[in-house]
Amino acid sequence: MPQAHPREFENFAAFYPFYLNEHRNPTCRRLHFAGSTVALLCLLALLLSGNWWWLAAAAVSGYAFAWVGHFGFEKNRPATFRHPLYSLMGDWVMYGDIWRGRIPF
């Protein structure tokens, strides 16, 4: 079956509702939150140690948690594959929205 063309968005404001719709499953959101937190801790370790391997660890941990959430719980394909920049921005906006209580955890 042919793949549909990826949806295009004019800007991040138009993308973010789509992004949230792709993260309806609470376990997926929790895994994203955990992965983002681990990524931040890895970046802190990079700053404290000067060891650049922590940068790779930050990227791997962030994506690993998120992809487990999508493939294992949300049962969809991560938006990263179609919209990498907007998806990365969405990760951090959602992370902040969860901290602020705007999105259920």
| Whether the model pTM is above 0.75 | yes
Q: How far apart are CA 104 and CA 23, in angstroms?
A: 11
pLDDT band, very low/low/confident/very high, at 98 (cuts 50, 70, 90)? very high
55 CB neighbour count, 10 Å cutoff: 14
Q: How far apart are CA 87 and CA 78, in angstroms?
A: 8
Q: How far apart are CA 26 and CA 43, in angstroms?
A: 26
Q: Where are the alpha helices (DSSP H) in 5-83?
A: 12-21, 26-49, 53-68
Q: How far apart are CA 34 and CA 89, in angstroms?
A: 16
Mind listing the pLDDT tens digit for each residue in 4-60? 445 789 999 999 999 999 999 999 999 999 999 999 999 999 999 999 999 999 999
Q: How far apart are CA 44 and CA 48, in angstroms?
A: 6
Euclidean distance between the first and final Cα of the chain, in Å? 36
